[in-house]
Chain A
Amino acid sequence: MADNVAGSPLLEVDDLRTTFTIPAGDVKAVRGVSFSLEQGRTLGIVGESGSGKTVLARSIMRLNLGSNVTTTGTAAFNGSDVLTRSPGEMRELWGTEMAMVFQDPMTSLNPLVRVQRQVTEHLCRHLNLNRAEARQAAVDLLREVRIPDPETRLRSFPHELSGGMRQRVCIAVALACEPSLLFADEPTTALDVTVQHQILNLLSREQTDREMAMVLVTHDLGVVAGRTDDTMVMYAGTVVEHAPTASLFADMRHPYSEALMRSIPRTSLPSHTRLAAITGRPPDLIDPPSGCAFSPRCPYVQDQCVNEEPPLVETDDPAHRLACWTPVGSPEARAAFEKNLAAGLQQAVAVDISAAPSSTGGVDG
């Protein structure tokens, strides 16, 4: 779709910051994020609720509404910054170049508009199709996203479709004008587990077939594993670890990534094993903690973590970027953990219990 300038990435984000001004103060939802994404590649953004992943995606798409939002930095799409574009210029990108699949298909389709119009209205606007052509395009799209009997479904209202069907319609809407960049913002969070897998596979297949770039936002590490080329772990509005997905899972370096990984329930563990939840709460984004934002919850915390904010730097593998003073597995981390455990620090004790369930009890009630 896009005529990519050779060598320059499709999307290049530099020091993006988004702040919401509310009566209680400035909520710094995204605090300096930089990354780039090549044509046809996929990027997973992982983090818990409130880590800024959705705001980041919406900032790049310029979909954060309201007069209380400030976004600074640059987000160059095909070499030109989208953050300085006028609303009219954005409309030319929306739908045709960038599209988004939203989290909840129950609310992201207009309940009073038939599927056909929702799938084709932007086609008609962007590609100047007439009614018959638009209808045919809609049938093709619904068939492509594996909706049975598309001719009938076009006449349906959203409430007549199941959740999975609706998300398929949303994907069809997003794909209609063949965007070169697709944001999928927690596309399976609101769906049944059985449907999640199908929707993710559908997205992966479309991404590959169309050679489009995709940003997959999720709170579930399991979703990005094996589906994205790169993975970016976000915490408190910053990127804490960014690596090719395979090497991230092989060699998880940030304590937060490790904690996210550890918190996935596993069927291989004995029953009644305590779920390894991450202790503490996500930080206050109006007044973020000094130093590393994860330090109040980190089992490897040491003095430097509280005083100095770690920069996102390349590790020995240049593709693997990390923002941590005590990376998991390093001698410093081991020493800090022993010290914190001896001091009875809550997050260290919690890790110790879940790491060795059988020796510490809590098994077989």
Chain B
Amino acid sequence: MGSFIATRLVRLVATLLAVSFLTFLLVNLLPGDAINALIPIEAQQDQEYVAQVRAEWGLDDPMLVRYGKWLGDAVRGDLGDSIVTSRAVSSEIAHRIPVTGELMIVTVIFSVLLAVPLGVMSAYREGSRLDQFISGGAQFALSVPGFVAGLLFIYVFAMKLGWFPATGWTRISNSISGNLMTVTLPALSLSVIEVAVYTRVVRSDLVTTLKEDYILSARSKGLRDGFILFRHALRPSSLTLITVVGLNIGLLLGGTVVVEFLFALPGLGKRLLDAIFQRDFMMVQGITVFVAMVYVVVNTLVDLVYLVVDPRIRKAD
């Protein structure tokens, strides 16, 4: 157990180093000089001023030197300042993360809550009309991008029915019910594909599990089907689901960018998008590394969840 966690920690640090370096490299390879973001074009006539600003931001140093400096600050929690707003990148992230974090958590909860019953019903009645309907629906939902679902939901639930606001965000500290109203539609939009993926994963794993001898054995004990499904079959069938949820959290971060834009949410994804357009390389760098860290931490947690779910892994480690 201890060595398991130690191994994961080493892997986490190595991953973060690699991600931050690659991001640094990519941001530097982007066309366009950061000086354009720092000084208006007309002011760039003043060569002396330009040279001074370049020296101030360290733009003339070799890339490795700049990366070293950035890394040295980053390990102390300082991700630098935004070139555009001059505010600390870390405080921008801290300000925005509650929105994106909540959006993602609610999305995962919605998706799992919908997908597990659908997958279980589908597997339990394998080959039936219901199964075909659910599997067909999942196939269709897979091909609906989040922003299309978002537009549809805005049209139906916000404009026609008026149940939810179309755009905007209410912070949870201001009003819990208001917050739930603003998170529902964006989370549902993101959930469409997630539900489809998870339903298929649950169904296919469960169909395999239901053919196991221990399920027959449970039946021969006179247990009810519902009990067998949820107390015997679901847990051995959930390992793939856990893996896929973990991996999908990374994809979800990408999805939030579009959905935050669509619903005008003040989240991290929207901030990242703005930063890219503004050539705010410190911001892009900071957000990317932060997101990578979340991703790696989440997947490490997923590995720990395996230990809880499957006692055989506990033993083997």
Residues of A within 8 A of B (CB): 61, 63, 65, 67, 87, 90-96, 98-100, 102, 104, 107-113, 121-122, 125-126, 157, 159-160, 170, 173, 177
Contact = CB atoms under 8 A, between A and B. Distances in A.
A109 B214 contact: yes
A107 B311 contact: no
Nearest to B218: A110
A107 B213 contact: yes
B314 to A, nearest CB: 9
Given A91-B224, A160-B315, A112 B217 contact: no
B235 interface: yes
Contacts of B217: 100, 102, 108-110, 170, 173
A65 B236 contact: no
A102 B222 contact: no
A305 B155 CA distance: 78
Contact of B214 (A63, A110, A157): A110
A112 B236 CA distance: 7
A95 B214 contact: no
Contact of A159 (B221, B227, B312): B312
For the complex of A and B, list the 3 residue pairs with the smallest distance between their C-beta atoms, beginning with the closest. A94-B222, A95-B222, A122-B221
A96 B222 contact: yes
A92 B222 contact: yes
Given A111-B236, A112-B311, A160-B315, A91 B214 contact: no
B223 interface: yes
A102 B219 contact: no
A159 B212 contact: no
Contacts of B216: 63, 65, 102, 108
Given A111-B312, A122-B221, A177-B222, 18 more contacts: A63-B220, A90-B222, A92-B222, A94-B221, A95-B220, A98-B220, A102-B217, A108-B217, A109-B214, A109-B217, A110-B217, A111-B310, A112-B312, A113-B232, A121-B231, A157-B311, A157-B315, A160-B315
A159 B225 CA distance: 25
Contacts of A100: 217, 220
Contacts of A93: 222
A121 B221 contact: yes
B236 A110 contact: yes
Nearest to A58: B216
B309 interface: yes
A125 B127 CA distance: 30
Contacts, number: 81
A107 B212 contact: yes
Nearest to A156: B311
A126 B127 contact: no
A111 B225 CA distance: 19
Given A63-B216, A67-B127, A112-B235, A121 B309 contact: no
A228 B95 CA distance: 77
Given A108-B217, A110-B214, A122 B222 contact: yes
Contact of B223 (A107, A111, A125, A160): A125
Contacts of B310: 111-112
B147 to A, nearest CB: 40
B220, B227, B231 interface centre (most CB from chain A within 10 Å) = B220
A63 B219 contact: yes
A96 B220 CA distance: 10
Contacts of A112: 235-236, 309-312
Given A93-B222, A94-B222, A122-B222, A108 B312 contact: no
A159 B214 CA distance: 13
B315 to A, nearest CB: 7
A112 B233 CA distance: 10
A173 B222 CA distance: 12
Nearest to A126: B222
Contacts of A92: 222
A294 to B, nearest CB: 30
A110 B222 contact: no
B213 A104 contact: yes
Interface in B214-254: 214, 216-225, 227, 231-232, 235-236
Contacts of A121: 221, 223, 227, 231
Nearest to A100: B220
12 contacts: A63-B220, A87-B225, A95-B220, A100-B220, A102-B216, A104-B213, A107-B212, A107-B214, A112-B310, A125-B227, A157-B311, A170-B217
A108 B213 contact: yes
B307 to A, nearest CB: 12
